[in-house]
C-alpha cells in the first residue's frame, strides 16, 4: 500500500532548508559579484563606467561605478548577478581620457558610450548605436543586425560585442578576412566617436541626457550612411574620420534637441525680429554709394545682399534656450528664413534679384520673459521637426522643398547645396587679378567637402558645414534689431584685389580671400565649425530700432 506524503510537510522541509542556507525571507541579500569588461574606441583609459540603475542615462553617485585603466579595463564591484543583466552599462569619456589609438595625447573632447544590459564585456561606439535601438524598442539581436547592415557586414561570426581591437590585429579594413571585417568595425567606431564629440559639448549640460544621446547618435548614423553610399564598392565600404563626419552647428543640434524633448507649453507668444545692414556708420541698400571698406578703403555699391537665418532660439534669465517656431510664408518655412535686402535697383540686377525685400522674421514662442537670442547663419542639413525633411541639400523640384530654397540664385552645384549668404560688392574701379580684372567681390558662404546624392534620397553630409552660430545675452525684440555690418565683414579683406580662383571668397579652404572673411564669421576655415560658439564675432550686433 502506497502512502501519500502531506504537501505541507514538503513545504515545511523546503522552508527549513532555505533558512539553513540563508535564503528565503527575512531580508537576506543576494550574493554580491563583480562585472568586468573593456571600453574602447581605441582602448580608453580614464573613463568613468557605471550601471544605469535609475535609467536616466547618466552616471549618478550611488550607482556602481569604476574608472578604466590600461587597455580600457574596468571592474564594477558590489553588484548582484541580476544587476548585470538588468541595467545597461554607461561610460562617460572625459576630454582628458587616453585613447590607445592616440597614446601620446588625450581624446580632446568629451563624449559618452553605452552597451545593453548583459553586454558589458565590451563597450564601444558601435554598442552605443545598438543600445540606442534597444531603447527604441528593438531586441538586442535585431539592433545588432541593423548596425551590421549599416556597416555592410554579413559575416555571422563577426560580433559587434567582441573586442575589435584585439580581433583586428594588424589587418586593414577589408571584406577578405574576418580580421579585416573587425578592422572595418574599428574604423566605423572612430567615425561614430568623432561625430559624438563634435556636438556633445554643446548639449551635455542639458538635463535630458536621453534626448541628447538620441540626437547625437542620429548624427553619427548619418555619418556612417554617407560614407557607405559614397564608397567605390558599397558592399565593402571603408570608413574614415578624415572623410565625412556629420557635424552640424551647435545651434542646429539645440534646435533638434528642443523638438526631441517636446515642448509641453504651446508656442503662442508672438515674436518679430527685425534685421538691418550697415557699413560702419553708413546705411546700406542697393544703389547707395559706400566708402572706406576693407584694408584699402575701397568705394563701391552692393550688388546682392541676401542670407539665410535658422535656429532662432530665445534665451530666458536662467540661460535656457526656447525655440521660436517661424511662421510659414514665401520667405519662411521649416524654421528657416531668407533675409533679403536686394531690391533690383542700382547695381543689383533685375535678372537674378527680386524687387520685394524681407527684413524681419516672424514666429511664435512659448509664453515667457526672454532676455537674449541665439541664431544661425545658414541652412541645416535637415529640418529640426519630427519629419526631418532634407533642407540644405535637397531636390529643388521636390514637393517637400520649401519655396525659399528653390531660388536658383541662392544655390550652387555641389550636392544641391545652398549659398548661406550671397553678399556681393562692386568696387568703383575694376578688381585686379593675376590674369586680368573682374568686377565683383563675392562672399558666398556654404557647406563644402560634401558627399551623398540628395536626388537619390541619400543624406548629404559635409566635412565643412560652415554655419555661423551667434547669440546675444541681452536682446529685446520690441526695441532692438539685429544689424549686419559690412565694414566688419570686409575688415581684413582687400576689395580692390583678388589672388585668383573664385572671385572673392566662395568658402574654399585654400582660397586666400577666405581667411579674413571666415575670421569675421568666426568659423574655422579648416574645420568649418564655429569658433567658440561665435562669442567673439562682431559681424552681427544689436542696436536700437
Top-confidence residue, 225 or 22: 225
pLDDT > 50? residue 452: yes
Q: How far is Cα 179 from Cα 155, in angstroms, rounded to an integer?
A: 11
8 Å CB contact between 15 and 24: yes
Model confidence at 27, pLDDT cuts 50, 70, 90, reads low
E-assigned strands of 26-72? 32-39, 44-45, 48-51, 65-67
pLDDT digits (tens, 9 = 90+) for 158-184: 999 999 999 999 999 988 899 999 999
For residue range 112-153, list pLDDT tens digits in order. Answer: 999 999 999 999 999 999 999 999 999 999 999 999 999 999
Q: Predicted confidence band at 25 (pLDDT cuts at 50, 70, 90)? A: very low
pLDDT, position 243: 63
Percent of the chain with pLDDT over 70: 93
Q: 75 is written with which cell numbers? A: 571592474
pLDDT-derived band at 28 (thresholds 50, 70, 90) equals low
Average pLDDT value for residue range 439-453 = 91
Q: In angstroms, how far is the first alpha carbon of the chain from the final one?
A: 107
Statement: residue 248 has pLDDT above 80: no
pLDDT of residue 375: 96
Q: How far is CA 489 from the centre of its chain?
A: 26
pLDDT in the model for residue 9: 34
**How far, CA to CA in Å, does 501 sit from each of 76, 146, 364, 512?**
59, 45, 43, 10
| Residue 7, pLDDT score | 33
Answer yes or no: is pLDDT of 237 > 80: yes
pLDDT at 157 over 70: yes
Q: For the purposes of burial, counting CB atoms within 10 Å of the CB of 411, is it exposed (0-12), middle (13-18) or buried (19 or more)?
A: middle
Percentage of the chain with pLDDT > 90? 68
pLDDT for 13? 31
> What are the extents of the domains in the chain?
32-229, 285-544
Q: What is the pLDDT at residue 10?
A: 32
Mean pLDDT (the chain, rounded): 89
- Residue 244 confidence class, pLDDT cut points 50, 70, 90: low
Q: What is the pLDDT of residues 337-352, one digit of tens each?
A: 999 999 999 999 876 7
The yes-or-no verdict on residue 498 having pLDDT over 90 is yes
Q: How far apart are the C-alpha atoms of 217 and 92, rounded to whole Å?
A: 15
pLDDT number for residue 524: 93
Smallest CA-to-CA distance from 470 within 420, 392, 514, 522 is with 522
pLDDT value at residue 456: 78
If you average pLDDT over residues 217-224, what whole number do you get?
89
Instruction: Say whether pLDDT at 67 is over 60.
Output: yes
User: Smallest Cα–Cα separation from 466: which of 434, 431, 420?
Assistant: 420
At residue 246 the predicted structure's pLDDT band, cuts being 50, 70 and 90, is low
Q: What is the predicted pLDDT for the residue at 463?
A: 82
pTM of the model: 0.85
Of 265-274, 320-329, 529-538, where does mean pLDDT reach its minimum?
A: 529-538
Do you know the residue count of the chain?
A: 545
Phi-psi group of 280: left, alpha or beta (phi > 0 → left; psi -120 to 50 → alpha; rest → beta): left
- Does the pLDDT value for residue 42 go beyond 90? yes
What does the pLDDT read at residue 24? 41
pLDDT beyond 60 at 21: no
Amino acid at each position: 500500500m502506497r502512502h501519500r506524503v502531506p504537501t505541507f510537510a514538503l513545504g515545511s522541509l523546503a522552508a527549513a532548508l532555505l533558512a539553513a542556507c540563508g535564503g528565503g525571507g527575512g531580508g537576506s541579500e543576494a550574493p554580491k559579484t563583480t562585472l568586468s569588461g573593456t571600453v574602447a574606441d581605441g582602448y580608453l583609459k580614464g573613463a568613468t563606467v557605471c550601471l544605469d540603475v535609475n535609467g536616466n542615462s547618466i552616471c549618478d553617485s550611488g550607482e556602481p561605478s569604476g574608472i578604466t585603466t590600461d587597455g580600457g579595463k574596468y571592474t564594477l564591484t558590489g553588484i548582484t548577478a541580476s544587476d548585470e543583466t538588468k541595467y545597461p552599462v554607461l561610460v562617460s569619456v572625459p576630454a582628458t581620457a587616453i585613447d590607445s589609438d592616440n597614446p601620446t595625447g588625450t581624446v580632446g573632447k568629451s563624449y559618452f558610450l553605452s552597451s545593453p544590459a548583459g553586454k558589458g564585456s565590451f563597450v564601444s561606439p558601435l554598442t552605443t548605436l545598438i543600445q540606442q535601438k534597444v531603447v527604441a524598442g528593438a531586441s538586442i539581436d535585431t539592433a545588432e543586425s541593423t548596425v551590421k547592415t549599416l556597416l555592410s557586414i554579413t559575416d555571422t561570426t563577426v560580433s559587434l560585442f567582441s573586442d575589435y581591437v584585439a580581433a583586428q590585429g594588424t589587418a586593414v579594413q577589408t571584406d577578405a578576412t574576418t580580421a579585416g571585417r573587425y578592422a572595418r568595425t574599428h574604423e566605423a567606431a572612430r567615425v561614430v566617436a568623432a561625430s559624438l564629440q563634435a556636438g556633445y559639448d554643446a548639449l551635455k549640460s542639458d538635463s535630458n541626457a536621453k534626448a541628447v544621446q538620441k540626437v547625437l547618435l542620429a548624427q553619427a548614423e548619418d555619418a556612417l550612411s554617407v560614407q557607405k553610399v559614397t564608397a567605390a564598392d558599397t558592399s565593402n565600404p571603408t570608413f574614415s574620420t578624415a572623410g565625412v563626419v556629420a557635424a552640424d552647428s551647435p545651434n542646429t543640434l539645440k534646435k533638434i534637441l528642443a523638438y526631441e524633448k517636446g515642448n509641453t507649453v504651446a508656442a503662442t507668444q508672438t515674436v518679430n525680429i527685425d534685421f538691418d545692414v550697415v557699413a560702419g556708420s553708413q546705411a546700406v541698400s542697393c544703389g547707395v554709394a559706400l566708402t572706406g571698406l576693407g584694408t584699402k578703403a575701397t568705394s563701391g555699391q552692393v550688388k546682392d545682399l541676401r542670407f539665410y537665418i535658422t535656429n532662432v532660439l530665445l534665451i530666458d534669465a536662467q540661460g535656457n534656450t526656447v525655440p521660436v517656431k517661424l511662421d510659414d510664408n514665401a520667405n519662411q518655412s521649416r524654421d528657416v528664413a531668407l533675409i533679403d535686402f536686394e531690391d533690383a535697383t542700382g547695381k543689383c540686377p533685375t535678372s537674378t534679384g527680386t524687387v520685394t525685400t524681407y527684413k524681419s522674421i516672424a514666429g511664435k514662442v512659448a509664453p515667457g520673459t526672454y532676455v537674449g537670442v541665439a541664431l544661425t547663419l545658414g541652412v541645416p542639413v535637415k529640418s529640426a521637426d519630427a519629419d526631418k525633411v532634407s533642407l540644405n541639400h535637397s531636390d529643388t523640384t521636390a514637393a517637400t522643398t520649401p519655396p525659399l530654397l528653390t531660388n536658383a540664385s541662392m544655390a550652387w552645384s555641389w550636392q544641391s547645396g545652398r549659398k548661406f549668404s550671397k553678399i556681393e560688392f562692386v568696387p568703383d574701379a575694376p578688381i585686379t587679378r593675376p590674369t586680368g580684372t573682374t568686377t565683383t567681390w563675392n562672399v558666398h558662404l556654404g557647406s563644402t567637402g560634401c558627399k551623398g546624392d540628395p536626388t537619390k534620397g541619400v543624406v548629404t553630409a559635409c566635412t565643412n558645414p560652415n554655419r555661423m552660430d551667434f547669440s546675444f545675452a541681452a536682446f529685446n525684440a520690441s526695441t532692438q534689431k539685429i544689424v549686419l555690418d559690412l565694414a566688419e565683414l570686409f575688415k581684413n579683406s582687400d576689395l580692390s584685389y583678388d589672388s585668383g580662383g573664385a572671385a572673392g571668397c566662395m568658402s574654399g579652404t585654400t582660397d586666400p580671400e577666405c581667411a579674413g572673411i571666415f575670421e569675421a564669421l568666426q568659423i574655422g576655415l579648416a574645420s568649418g565649425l564655429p569658433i567658440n560658439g561665435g562669442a567673439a564675432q562682431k559681424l552681427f550686433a544689436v542696436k536700437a530700432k
